[in-house]
Chain A
Amino acid sequence: DTEVTQTPKHLVMGMTNKKSLKCEQHMGHRAMYWYKQKAKKPPELMFVYSYEKLSINESVPSRFSPECPNSSLLNLHLHALQPEDSALYLCASSQTPGQGNTEAFFGQGTRLTVV
């Protein structure tokens, strides 16, 4: 199983809503990532979890709250988002934190629209 599974695939939410994005992998990877991607742009790193601990937070606003309940699961909790937060949210995982030779496996992303 070399898949990273993200749910939901599409999400429309109002600015007062609370929602969560889910990411799951069963490859035994111990590094997991959240990226935000706008159209025709590269992914922008948001958070990195290494061995289930938050290791990198790229100064992301607090309306985005990550959570890593176990080594296979990564969540992104959303609250009070703004329309400019509309984007494709990508989850990725890689085998061993701090070993740059391992590739990142990406999910298909969640297309988020904030109205």
Chain B
Amino acid sequence: AQTVTQSQPEMSVQEAETVTLSCTYDTSENNYYLFWYKQPPSRQMILVIRQEAYKQQNATENRFSVNFQKAAKSFSLKISDSQLGDTAMYFCALNSNTGNQFYFGTGTSLTVIP
């Protein structure tokens, strides 16, 4: 069984500051992939960043980076220089090569304060 846990239902951050969203997961698979998705009020889920579990190097996409701790099964998202457009629900998700579905965490509602 695969589970994804996000323990922060709501967070806020001042514009231009840095914020970290937490995610832990559990899986018995050896080969899996982790994702952070953003869902703004416009509703569309958008991929923020992706991490392959077999890669030790943490993924980075512009202002977004992850801290992937495989042994601890932790996958946090760091947003630097927060912008008003970052206000959204953020979902952590897991997929494996033996299944064909994405397992989502419960989400973190992030508000960027001007």
Contacts and interface: CB of A to CB of B under 8 A. Distances in A.
A90 B101 CA distance: 14
Given A42-B107, A109-B43, 19 more contacts: A41-B107, A42-B106, A43-B91, A43-B104, A45-B102, A48-B101, A88-B43, A98-B100, A100-B95, A100-B100, A103-B35, A103-B47, A104-B47, A104-B95, A104-B102, A105-B47, A106-B37, A109-B44, A111-B43
Interface size of A as a range: 20 to 34
B45 A90 contact: yes
Interface of A: 31, 33, 40-43, 45, 48, 50, 55-56, 88, 90, 92, 97-101, 103-109, 111
B87 interface: no
Nearest to B43: A109
Contacts of A109: 43-44
Given A103-B35, A108-B43, A50 B100 contact: yes
Given A33-B101, A108-B42, A100 B89 contact: no
Interface of B: 31-33, 35, 37, 42-47, 50, 52, 89, 91, 95-102, 104-107, 109
B95 to A, nearest CB: 4
Given A40-B107, A106-B45, A109-B43, A98 B33 contact: no
A108 B44 contact: yes
Contacts of A106: 37, 44-46
Contacts of A40: 89, 107, 109
A87 to B, nearest CB: 12
A32 to B, nearest CB: 11
A91 B100 CA distance: 15
Given A104-B102, A108-B42, A42 B91 contact: yes
A60 B96 CA distance: 23
Contacts of B91: 42-43
Contacts of B98: 98
